[in-house]
Amino acid sequence: MKPILIIMAAGMGSRYGGMKQIDPMGPGGEVILDYSLYDARRAGFERVIFLIKREMEEAFRKAVGEKAERHFSVTYAFQETAMLPPGFTAPQGRVKPWGTGHAVLCCAEHVDAPFAAINADDYYGPHAFAAAYRFLSEASGRGQYIMVGYRLKNTLSPTGYVSRGVCRTDEDGTLLDIRETTHIISTSDGPLYTEDGELYRKLSPNTLVSMNMWGFTPDFLEELKTGFTSFLQNEAVQNPLKAEYYLPFAVNHMMQQGRAKVRVLPSEDIWRGVTYAEDKPLVQQAFRRMAKEGLYPSPLWD
């Protein structure tokens, strides 16, 4: 079976202040996701699963889905806070989605082949999709996964702090661990991060970070299911309204148990995204420039 692309588009965009998944960014009114779909199709992907919230379905189909259906076999899956394993119920007052690990689990019934998983509101660049598709087209063994890694300097926002999964690899490019770093800023002295809000430490601009572009074989879904149950029994009890089950947490646990090996594929592409509303004009400018340079047609799909 040909690889599948899962696109996680159920996030709330709290810092951005709106549904950035469908906010026009390109010179022809394209959203960021349109560029990911375009790059994915060029790489060879033909099947897409959109993971969204039910209340945004109509708007998402109109902004993205109708165009995508002309180029892909499209399936919709939904992430809701009440979608939990038997014996669990969502805490009263829980609004926040359960995180990227839960998002991929919500697509499980539609997955029958190796798959890539990405965020809807991040621009990854064409090389990342080509590399992911090549790996997934040949993937067969259990626990053999990939992550596309980006240089930290290529992923920062000039308008505020960002969260990144800081990666540590061995000499062969095998992932050793990911450390979620939630407050990284760009300065004239290079990237700085803080864990307590007071003391800032340096990070190398060339540090590899995760932008949530993963490649898995279907056995990963079994691991996610088991891990999510453990998460609900432990971490979610401590922070019932905000705790999230992230893909890196699941991957780290598997690696620690010796059940997974993750190859990091470095990308020199520049990440584009809108963490804050102030990022929008910068992203729009970047897409205009890429269109003028001939990297993408404008309008994109015509």
Full set of structural domains in the chain with CATH: 4-292 (3.90.550.10)
234 versus 196: which is more confidently predicted? 234
- Residue 169 sits at φ, ψ, to 5 deg, of -125, 165
CA dihedral 234, 237, 242, 244 (to 10 degrees): 20
pLDDT value at 36 more than 50: yes
Q: What is the mean pLDDT of residues 167-188?
A: 92
pLDDT of residue 180: 86
pLDDT value at 173 more than 70: yes
pLDDT value at 18 more than 80: no
198 versus 290: which is more confidently predicted? 290
192 versus 275: which is more confidently predicted? 192
Q: Are 283 and 291 in contact (CB under 8 A)?
A: no
Provide the greatest CA pair distance for the chain: 55
pLDDT of residue 20: 66
141 versus 46: which is more confidently predicted? 46
pLDDT of residue 16: 42
The CA distances from residue 299 to 30, 34, 74, 236, 271, in Å, are 8, 11, 21, 44, 21
Q: What is the mean pLDDT of residues 41-51?
A: 97
Q: Are 9 and 104 in contact (CB under 8 A)?
A: no
* Residue in the structure block whose two tokens are 């945004």: 56
Share of the chain above pLDDT 70, in %: 96
| pTM across the whole model | 0.92
Whole-number average pLDDT of the chain: 91
How far is residue 178's CA from residue 251's CA, in Å, rounded to a whole number? Answer: 9
Pairing of strands 4-8, 115-119: parallel
Give the confidence band of 14 by pLDDT, cuts at 50, 70, 90. very low
pLDDT of residue 12: 45
The 10 Å Cβ neighbour count of residue 113 is: 14
Q: Which H or E run includes 192?
A: strand 192-194
pLDDT value at 148 more than 70: yes
Which of 32, 216, 262 has its CA nearest to residue 124?
32
Q: Looking at this protein, which amino acid is placed at residue 261? A: K
Q: What is the mean pLDDT of residues 85-95?
A: 93
Q: pLDDT tens digits for 93-147?
A: 998 889 999 999 999 999 999 999 999 989 999 999 999 999 999 987 788 999 9
pLDDT of residue 15: 45
Q: What is the mean pLDDT of residues 192-214?
A: 91
The 10 Å Cβ neighbour count of residue 152 is: 25
H helices of 10-50, where? Answer: 32-43
pLDDT of residue 276: 79
